[in-house]
Amino acid sequence: MTAELTYKSHILIGVRENGAITVIADWPHLPGQSEVQDRINDTRNDYLGFALCTPTSIMPAGGNGTHAGGSSRFRRGK
């Protein structure tokens, strides 16, 4: 995935029949339908379906509810 996660980020997730999910692709912008379809067509695994997602909440990783500290790579899209 890209190093920065914003509210404009988009993530393509593949869902298998057993419920397992895999991130197939990510974009820092809204991808076009043909770009998403190309990535779906490139997958070699048997997926039941796909979800193109945007974050509704972005939380820094730090474990146990603590802030990770340092500069944040998470920011609100402009």
Map residue 52 onto helix, strand or coil: strand
User: CA 72 to CA 78: how far, in whole Å?
Assistant: 16
Kindly indicate the confidence band of residue 65, based on its pLDDT and cuts at 50, 70 and 90: low
Asked if the model's pLDDT at residue 70 lies above 60, the reply is no
Asked if the model's pLDDT at residue 20 lies above 90, the reply is yes
How many independent structural domains does the chain possess?
1
**22 part of a folded domain:** yes
Q: Which long-range contacts (CB under 8 A, 24 or more apart) does 37-43 make?
A: 39/12, 40/12, 43/14
**76 part of a folded domain:** no
Selected residue with higher pLDDT from 61 and 65: 61
Instruction: Give this prediction's pTM.
Output: 0.70
Residue 36, domain extent: 1-56
**30 part of a folded domain:** yes
Kindly indicate the confidence band of residue 74, based on its pLDDT and cuts at 50, 70 and 90: very low
Selected residue with higher pLDDT from 40 and 56: 40
User: 40 — alpha (psi -120 to 50), left (phi > 0) or beta?
Assistant: alpha
